[in-house]
Amino acid sequence: ATKSGPLAQIWLAANMSNLPKTSVLQTSIPESANEIAKASGCATDGSRERSGFEYITLHTSGDLLQGIVRVYSKQAAFLLTDIKDTLMKISTIFKMNQRVNV
Amino acid sequence: MHIKRVVIKGFKTYRNETIIDDFSPHLNIVIGSNGSGKSNFFAAIRFVLSDDYSNLKREERQGLIHQGSGSVMSASVEIVFHDPDHRIILPSGVAARPDDEIMVRRTVGLKKDDYQLNDRNVTKGDVVRMLESAGFSMSNPYNIVPQGRIIALTNAKDKERLQLLEDVVGAKSFEVKLHASLKKMEQTEQKRSQIASEMKELNEKLDEMEEEKKELEKFNSLERNRKVFQFTLYDRELNDVINQIEKMDDEYADTLQSSREYIKELDKREEMVAETSKKLRDLESAIKIKETAELTEVKVKDNELSNELASLDVKIKDLNRQIDSYDEQSVVDENNLNIINKAIESKQAQLSAINPRFEALSKDETIYKLQLAELQEKQRELLLMKGKYAHFKTKEERDQWILEEQHNLEQTLGKLDQSRKEISDEREISTKKLDVIDEEILELEDSVRGPGVLAELDDIDRELKNFKSRYAEKLDERKELWRSEQKLQTISETLLDTVKNSERNVNETMAHSLASGIASVKEIADKLKLSEDSVFGTLGELIKVSDKYKTCAEVVGGNSLFHIVVDTDETASIIMKELYRMRGGRVTFMPLNRITNDQNISYPPNTQASCTPLIKKIKFDAQFESAVKNVFGKTIVVRDLSTGAKIAKSYKLDAITLDGDRADKRGLLTGGYHDYHKRTRLDSLAELKNARAQHKRTCNELNQVKEKLHSVDAEIDALNGSIRKATQKKETILTNIEAFRAKLNNKKSEKLFLEDTLKSLAVKHEKININIKAAQERIQSYSQDLASTFENQISPQKQMELQTLETSLHEIQAKLNTTTETLHGITTERDSLSAELNAKLLPQKSDLEAKTRRGGDPITRELKNDLQMLIHERNDLQAEKAQTANEIARLQSELDSLLKDKVTNQRHLEKANNQQASLLKKLQSFQKDAEKAMVKKTTLIARREELQQKIREVGLLAEDALNKFSNLSSEELLSRLNDVSENMSGLKNVNKNAFENFKKFHDKRIDLDERAKELEESKVSIQNLIVKLKQQKIAAVDATFKKVSENFSAVFEQLVPRGQAKLIIHRESNSANDDDSANRDIDMEASDEDSQTSSIYTGVSISVSFNSKKNEQLHVEQLSGGQKTVCAVALILAIQMVDPAPFYLFDEIDAALDKQYRAAVANIIKTLSSNAQFICTTFRTDMLQVADKFFQVKYQNKISTVVEVDRQEAINFIRDRGRLAEV
Ligand SMILES: Nc1ncnc2c1ncn2[C@@H]1O[C@H](COP(=O)(O)OP(=O)(O)OP(=O)(O)O)[C@@H](O)[C@H]1O
Ligand SMILES: [Mg+2]
């Protein structure tokens, strides 16, 4: 279930050393967190019935947790660099305008 | 997943590569003596699959590598898993193998320690992760139990057991990961605060931008107004200018149109004139050829034919006469021959009639003569005797005489014999001679009349005939050649005229001195025998230009077209000297070896279709490239002169339009109206070249014909010679034959003579025979006399005889006389007959026969043949003559029509020339008008371009804005424009990019804001997840413990039916508020991780009873070794039921057990082995009974080997060992 389901991206994130930017930005963390919770057996409503459905082991959920945190961290890093980039561009534009006006 | 194969090499006792293959996926047993290497086999597996051998020191490594004979440098162990369900997930980069096998290999040397997966180098971490994914933990492999360590599980502390349990659940790794995740979260939080501050700055800057944007909007609206004003003003003027230009263009187009029409007309006339004069020239040359060559030729031929016909007629008559006379002669000859033949026949008949009688008579005569002679002899003898006898006195005397006589006679006899012999010899010789002569005669006859000679004669005759016919053929051929020679001569003359004409045409287009110079150069080249490869002619002759580009080429070429191209400057100087000497005019030379061209002429790229290098449109021989390039290389042909001039200038080239207007590289423009009416120089040059080539070709042909004539003459001479030779040969043969015939006649007469001699010899022979006979008789009679008595006279008997002799002599004499007489008569008659025959008739006959043979049929036949041939010839000639007559008539009529054509063409030409002159005048006036218009137009166009440029600068404007001010006057517009410009100068520092900048960054801002918000949400959701997962973990440990504990009790009961056991989990003292702890703040929990084991449990203890179900719950410390083993086995198997590992390795777990437990353990393992692989060692038979596969370790020379054995062998081995041990 882990390999091709909604958590495939997260699973890959946990196991791969470097993640492609696009896939990082496309991943929705709240949704994935929800999925992990479901898969691990702690349903959102809190009830714990193991009716036939086989939940993933603790081992795997640890992996997935690590994966999702990595994605989260990466997203933050990307956002930070994007903001910095934008700032840089704006300031160069300002500088340029000044030079033009002088 | 199970272990399928183990390959050990250089590891401990396994020195050589040892392969233990085909492990059962169920229960496998390894047996072997103490110290044989069983534990080493297990160690090998642990070496790869557990953490026990990590971080090896040097000595430890040494301990693993085989020690002993032979140096082994490294130890390697390879474990091959069979994984048909694909439980193992390979790390990225490692290829899966098609047979579902996965090879894990670890190699240890003193300096290396490598892991390999499917022959690919990997890190240990990769292997750990891979095995974990398949449910096997390397860090805590409770499923691999080394020798003697089974009790350790029982002896372990409670906390260790708890860890084991948690490990089964996976809590430990979860814990580690959770910890890492929390740390990461913290780091990220830091980043987020940075994000917030940067965001703030960004927003400030963007606000500033918005400010700028508003300013810009104001400026833009002002500028738009200004532009509209400007545009409207410019537009008005532009419209004005354009209208003017258009009007001018129309006017110009009209002029151009009409002038074009005139030019077209002019061209047409020009063409017509050219065509008509060409036609005229052609006609003249045709007439000349017809008159001087063809007509005269035909007439000459006609004359010749008549002459020939006449001579032929004479010949035919002559021949006819000859044939007639021959015929007459032959008739006469035949008659004569008949007569002579008849005469011969009658004479011969007479002769044959006389002949028998003549023969008989001559026989008789000889007989008589002989008899007479004989008798006379006898008589003489007798008379002699009679006389002698009378003288004798005594008998002795007589006898004396007789004896003497006898002796004499005998001598005579001998002589006679001698002569007879001679005669017969002579006869023999003569017969032989006769034979020879006969042969000779035969031979001669053969050579006179034999088939060989006749065949030879025939051959020669045929050859002669053949030669003669060929001779005639050749004569005809020569005649034909003479005729064509004549014709070519005339053609060549007319062509020479054409060449001169063309030369004159060319000369008209240039200065006189140049023309005479060119002519002189030609003369000099001929005089000095300069080859055509050194003086090539004028440049214009050497190039070919299509009609379209002719004008350009002519304008560009100018006088250079008449430059003379030569191979070297030497040639040029030779000619120049000569030219100077004879004051032959002026020319310019282009020595090919001296022309240097600018190497780096570059043409505008081909894509600009508006221009093309002129040189590409000129065709010329490659050797003249440099000369042609020199003149035409720097010019491009352009469609439009003004743009063309620009291109030309940028490439340092000259530009020229198709009409011949040109601009050179300095940008100067020349041109205008070029002579349309003049014949182009290039055309004239081309025509001249053409005419020269034709003339040369004809001259060549003429030469060829002359050569042919020579060869035909030679052939005729040769044929004549052959004919003479053949005739001579024939004559010699004929004289030879004549000579042979004379010889033949000689031989024949010789033969006759010999025959006569033979006959006379025969007669002589006969005579001698008779004489001999007579002598013999006398000798006899003398002997009789000798015997008789002597008497004085002869005996009476002899007297009698004498008397009878006398009478018979008379008789015979008489007979002889009569015979001789008759014979004489006959002989004369016969002689006269044969004389007539031999001397007269036979020669006559042979003469006649020879005549008929030689002169008869063949000659007449030949004559007739000749006649036939001549008649044939005459017919041919007559036909030919008729043809020539026709030809003459045809030529005459053609000539007439040509002359008529000539007259009409001349009239046409005159008319065309007149029209031409008037057209030219009109054209000149047009030209002046056009030039004026052009000047005006250029200034207008310049203004137009200026305005267009300005409008372009103003840029695009909205449609409605353009029409806004259309009703304002131009002055008002101008003042408004000034106002706006003033207003705008106040806003000078406006940022022109503000607008788009703002737009660009506005979008970005929205995007970034959104993402920041999202990040916040993510954080919350992850925190939630962590809380949930923690709860989940506790729940999982709980659940697992419960199950393991249940299973433990069950397994224990199976092992010890009377006993009882259970697992007890111990909670922390403050475990009551576990709900609180789960809900505590995550951040806090993450920060003091050390104090918090994240577990609410402290340990797991075992409580057992071996003989009672109720009481005596013992703690493990109190148990015996065997009981501890039972507990440990039960625990392992219980865990196996909950969390099945893929395989189990037990090294002598049953060592401490007694029979009862051993059997129980064996049974449980057996049942479990249906789901998991077991590899065990044992020294007991219990497990052997239930196992599937057996391997025996053997130890020899300190080296272990492993072989597979069957169950019975294994059991036997154990039994033997046991017995040995007992002993
Ligand atoms: N690095 C080494 N090189 C060569 N031999 C070694 C090495 N390490 C251990 N040995 C030999 O291996 C033998 C021990 O083998 P092992 O422990 O596998 O025996 P075993 O079959 O398990 O015997 P037992 O039945 O007593 O348990 C010893 O004889 C020891 O000398
Ligand atoms: Mg051992």
Query: How confident is residue B806, by pLDDT bands cut at 50, 70 and 90?
Result: confident
Query: How confident is residue A54, by pLDDT bands cut at 50, 70 and 90?
Result: low
Q: What is the pLDDT of residue A4?
A: 46
Quick check: A46 pLDDT over 50?
no
Ligand 2: distance of its center to the CA of B31 in Å? Answer: 10
Quick check: A102 pLDDT over 70?
no
Quick check: A60 pLDDT over 80?
no
Q: Is B640 helix (H, G, I), strand (E, B) or coil?
A: coil
> Amino acid identity, residue B817?
N
Write the pLDDT tens digit of every residue in B122-147: 888 888 888 877 777 777 667 788 88
Ligand nearest to the CA of B34: 1
Segment among B147-156, B596-605, B624-633, B693-702 with least mean pLDDT: B596-605
Which residues on neighbouring strands pair with residue B1100, listed in sequence order? B1065
Mean pLDDT (chain B, rounded) = 81
Write the pLDDT tens digit of every residue in B1105-1160: 877 666 566 677 778 888 888 888 888 888 888 877 888 888 888 888 888 888 88
Q: What is the pLDDT of residue B676?
A: 43
Write the pLDDT tens digit of every residue in B969-991: 777 777 877 877 777 776 666 66
Write the pLDDT tens digit of every residue in B321-369: 888 888 888 888 888 888 888 988 888 888 888 888 888 888 888 888 8
Q: Which residues of B152-177 are buried (b: 16+ CB within 10 A; e: fewer)?
A: ebbebebbebbbbbbbbbbbbbbbeb
Q: Is B1152 helix (H, G, I), strand (E, B) or coil?
A: coil
* Shortest distance, CA B103 to any CA of chain A (angstroms): 21
* Shortest distance, CA B221 to any CA of chain A (angstroms): 20
Q: What is the pLDDT of residue A49?
A: 42
Q: Is B119 helix (H, G, I), strand (E, B) or coil?
A: coil
The finding on whether B66 has its CB within 6 A of some atom of ligand 1 is yes
Q: Is B961 in contact with B226 (CB distance < 8 Å)?
A: no
Which residue in A48, A57, A75 is closest to B170 by CB distance? A57
Q: B47: burial class by Cβ within 10 Å (0-12, 13-18, 19+)?
A: buried
Separation between Cα atoms, residue B839 and residue B843, nearest integer Å: 7
Quick check: B115 pLDDT over 50?
yes
A20 touches chain B (CB under 8 A): no
Give the CA angle between residues A7, A11, A12 to the nearest 5°.
120
Q: Is B965 helix (H, G, I), strand (E, B) or coil?
A: coil
What's the distance, CA B495 to chain centroid? 48
Residue B536: what are its φ and ψ, rounded to 5°? Answer: -95, -20
Q: Is B3 helix (H, G, I), strand (E, B) or coil?
A: strand
Quick check: A48 pLDDT over 50?
no
Chain B residues within 8 A of A63 when measuring between CB atoms: 177
Q: Is B641 helix (H, G, I), strand (E, B) or coil?
A: helix
Write the pLDDT tens digit of every residue in B661-675: 776 655 455 554 444
Atom in ligand 1 nearest the alpha carbon of residue B42 = 18
Write the pLDDT tens digit of every residue in B660-714: 777 665 545 555 444 444 556 777 778 888 888 888 898 999 999 999 999 999 9
Q: Is B22 in contact with B5 (CB distance < 8 Å)?
A: yes
Report the run of H or E that residue B1029 belongs to, with start and end. Answer: helix B994-1055
Single out the residue of B1038, B1018, B1083, B979 nearest to residue B168, CA to CA. B1038
Provide the ipTM.
0.74
Separation between Cα atoms, residue B1057 and residue B841, nearest integer Å: 178
Q: Is B274 in contact with B679 (CB distance < 8 Å)?
A: yes
Query: Is this prediction's pTM over 0.80?
Result: no
The secondary structure of B1095-1133, three-state, reads CCEEEEEEEEECCCCCCCCEEHHHCCHHHHHHHHHHHHH
Atom in ligand 1 nearest the alpha carbon of residue B32 = 21
Single out the residue of B688, B700, B297 nearest to residue B499, CA to CA. B688
Write the pLDDT tens digit of every residue in B1054-1081: 888 888 888 888 876 544 444 444 443 3
Write the pLDDT tens digit of every residue in B902-922: 888 888 888 888 888 888 888
Separation between Cα atoms, residue A76 and residue B195, nearest integer Å: 8
Specify the pairing of strand B18-20 against strand B2-9: antiparallel
Q: What is the pLDDT of residue B1197?
A: 85
For the four alpha carbons of B195, B200, B202 and B206, in that order, the dihedral sign comes to positive
* DSSP 8-state class, residue B68: S
Single out the residue of B1221, B1038, B1049 nearest to residue B1134, CA to CA. B1049
Which residue in B205, B212, B1019 is closest to A72 by CB distance? B1019
Chain A residues within 8 A of B181 when measuring between CB atoms: 65-66, 69
Rounded average pLDDT over B815-838: 86
Give B1033 or B1177, the one with higher predicted confidence.
B1177
Ligand 1: distance of its center to the CA of B5 in Å? Answer: 21
* pLDDT above 70 as % of chain B: 92
Kindly give, in sequence order, each residue whose CB lies less than 8 Å from that of residue B1147, ignoring residues fewer than 6 positions away: B38, B39, B42, B145, B146, B147, B148, B1176, B1177
B1013 touches chain A (CB under 8 A): no
Q: Is B139 helix (H, G, I), strand (E, B) or coil?
A: coil
Q: What is the pLDDT of residue B8?
A: 92
- Which protein residue's CA is at the shortest distance from atom 27 of ligand 1? B34
Q: What is the pLDDT of residue B1090?
A: 37
Which residue in A15, A72, A91 is closest to B1018 by CB distance? A72
Quick check: A13 pLDDT over 70?
no
Structural tokens at position B720:
């004549």
Query: How confident is residue B377, by pLDDT bands cut at 50, 70 and 90?
Result: confident
- The answer to whether the Cβ–Cβ distance between B184 and A70 falls below 8 Å is yes
Query: How confident is residue B717, by pLDDT bands cut at 50, 70 and 90?
Result: very high
Residues 199-218 of B with CB under 8 A from A: 199, 201-202, 205-206, 208-209, 212
Separation between Cα atoms, residue B1084 and residue B1081, nearest integer Å: 5
Single out the residue of B9, B161, B167 nearest to residue B74, CA to CA. B9
Q: What interhelical angle do B994-1055 and A29-40 show, nearest 10?
A: 10
For the four alpha carbons of B472, B476, B482 and B485, in that order, the dihedral sign comes to negative
Domains and CATH numbers, chain B: 2-143+1141-1220 (3.40.50.300), 512-676 (3.30.70.1620)
Q: Is B1121 in contact with B128 (CB distance < 8 Å)?
A: no
Write the pLDDT tens digit of every residue in B1021-1033: 888 888 888 888 8
Segment among B82-91, B132-141, B310-319, B419-428 with least mean pLDDT: B132-141
Give CA torsion, residues B947, B949, B954, B958, to 10 deg.
Answer: 80
The finding on whether B32 has its CB within 6 A of some atom of ligand 1 is yes
Separation between Cα atoms, residue B76 and residue B47, nearest integer Å: 9
Q: Is B926 in contact with B255 (CB distance < 8 Å)?
A: yes
Segment among B308-312, B788-792, B835-839 with least mean pLDDT: B788-792
Quick check: B105 pLDDT over 80?
yes
Question: For a pocket test of ligand 1, which of B8, B9, B11, B13 has the largest count of ligand atoms closer than 8 A to its C-beta?
Answer: B13
Mean pLDDT (chain A, rounded) = 69
Write the pLDDT tens digit of every residue in B232-286: 778 888 888 888 888 888 877 787 777 778 777 777 877 778 788 888 888 887 8
Chain B residues within 8 A of A80 when measuring between CB atoms: 191, 194-195, 198
Q: What is the pLDDT of residue B1080?
A: 39
Residue with tokens 């006769």: B434
Strand locations in B85-127, DSSP E?
Answer: 101-109, 113-117, 120-122
Q: B1202: burial class by Cβ within 10 Å (0-12, 13-18, 19+)?
A: buried
* pLDDT above 90 as % of chain B: 6
Which residues on neighbouring strands pair with residue B544, listed in sequence order? B619
Quick check: B77 pLDDT over 90?
yes
Give B1053 or B559, the one with higher predicted confidence.
B1053
Q: Which residues of B705-744 are buried (b: 16+ CB within 10 A; e: fewer)?
A: beebbeebeebbeebeebbeebeebbeeeeeebeebbebb
A8 touches chain B (CB under 8 A): no
Q: Is B39 in contact with B147 (CB distance < 8 Å)?
A: yes
Segment among B214-223, B470-479, B1020-1029 with least mean pLDDT: B214-223
> Amino acid identity, residue B965?
F
Separation between Cα atoms, residue A64 and residue B1029, nearest integer Å: 11
